[in-house]
Amino acid sequence: MSNFNYKKILIIGATSGIGQALAEKFIKEGIHVVVTGRREDRLKAFTEQNGGAYEVFDITKLQEIPKFVEKLTQEHHDIDAILLNSGIQRGFNFTKPETIDLDVITEELTVNYLSYIYLTTALLPFLLKKEASALIYVSSVLAMVPLARCPNYCASKAALHQFVLSLRNQLKETSVKVLEIMPPAVQTELHDETNQPGKPAV
């Protein structure tokens, strides 16, 4: 990360997987980290072991995002990079429409896409005032090549990818850089039956 020019990063969705691994890497590189997520026990354990700070928040509570961002940016006014990483993946079989839970569809879309829009909207006034800052989005290669087992997940990541492309274009004359990480398949809780019901354990 020698060319990572930011000093303090907020990682949204850091209780496991890619977010947690990146948080560990940033800390090892001497970058200050604030981790967030809904599971306080994991956040507390992470900061006790690795350092940094944590804030508990459930991003599905969309209407609470502005207050969360206001509180966090007041307490950590020196944050200059945001990594948005939260995500869930559910399997759906539309050959059996009676098995489709539309509430789960809505939850997946909220976590994987709508929360990112709400967070971006709330964070931009803070970031635009800085001389240099970055918004970093974790999408997926499934945004480009979908997997039939999880159509809604792929659609949410495709929507996020298109949003990032448009946002980058809109912000190109500002001090806010817009980056996208498109990881391949990795072994995280997305592939764990306990945390991601409906997916066979591997």
pLDDT digits (tens, 9 = 90+) for 31-88: 999 999 999 999 999 999 999 999 999 999 999 999 999 999 999 999 999 999 999 9
Average pLDDT, integer, range 165-192: 83
Q: What is the CATH number of the domain that holds 165?
A: 3.40.50.720
Q: Within a domain: residue 3?
A: no
d(CA 36, CA 163): 23
Q: Within a domain: residue 196?
A: no
Q: Quick one: pLDDT at residue 183? A: 86
Catalytic residue among 6, 54, 137, 153: 153
Indicate the pLDDT class of residue 3, thresholds 50, 70 and 90. Answer: confident
Q: Within a domain: residue 197?
A: no
Q: Within a domain: residue 24?
A: yes
Q: Quick one: pLDDT at residue 142? A: 95
Average pLDDT, integer, range 180-195: 64
Q: Within a domain: residue 202?
A: no
Q: How much is the pTM? A: 0.89
What is the count of structural domains for the chain?
1
Q: Within a domain: residue 136?
A: yes
d(CA 191, CA 201): 6
153 is an active site residue: yes
Indicate the pLDDT class of residue 184, thresholds 50, 70 and 90. Answer: confident
Domain that holds residue 99: 8-191
The 3-state secondary structure of 171-184 reads: CCCCCEEEEEECCC
d(CA 132, CA 6): 8
Q: Within a domain: residue 199?
A: no
Q: Within a domain: residue 2?
A: no
